[in-house]
Structure 1
Amino acid sequence: MWSQYVADNFGLHWVYVLIVEGLGPLLAPRGWRQMVAQLSQQPDNQLRRIGGCLVVAGAVIAYVFAR
């Protein structure tokens, strides 16, 4: 059931990602640029930790909404 839901809505999920990713530069370009500059200065391990937390948070949220 879960895999069928993801397969049926794969394109729609990417649309949501693009919308959310575009909000930062659209609404606060200066702040977004500063955030990206700060992130680019972080060590690789810190970025991996941030990325891992985002992946886990996204998976948990997807699981909750899919129930």
Structure 2
Amino acid sequence: MDDFLVALGLVLVIEGVLYGGLPNLARRLAAEVLATPEQTLRTAGLVAAAIGVGIVWMVRT
């Protein structure tokens, strides 16, 4: 549970830096996401999740 809370905290830090420090970039990225086809977003999300699981697995073993 501690690891989950640390990971959640890191996500919030990254999001906060993006929105707080670079709001124009955040708006442009949001517009790009809206213009991206659903299948592309789904594929990118699943690939990112798989890479994340792989990283966690490598670090934990």
TM-score bracket for this pair, using the shorter chain length: 0.7 to 0.9
- Ranges in structure 1 where 5+ consecutive residues have no aligned partner: 1-6
> In structure 2, what residue type is equivalent to 1:11?
L
Q: What does residue 43 of structure 1 align with?
A: 37
Q: What does residue 13 of structure 1 align with?
A: 7
Tell me by how many angstroms 1:55 deviates.
0.5
> In structure 2, what residue type is equivalent to 1:27?
G
Q: TM-score scaled by structure 1?
A: 0.73
- Ranges in structure 2 where 5+ consecutive residues have no aligned partner: none
Tell me by how many angstroms 1:46 deviates.
0.8
> In structure 1, what residue type is equivalent to 2:10?
Y
Aligned residues: CA RMSD: 1.5
**Equivalent position to 1:60, from 32, 54, 57:** 54
Q: TM-score scaled by structure 2?
A: 0.79
Which structure is richer in relative contact order (CA contacts within 8 A, separation 6 or more)?
Answer: 1
Post-superposition CA distance 1:28-52 (Å, at most 9, x none): 2111210111111111101101111
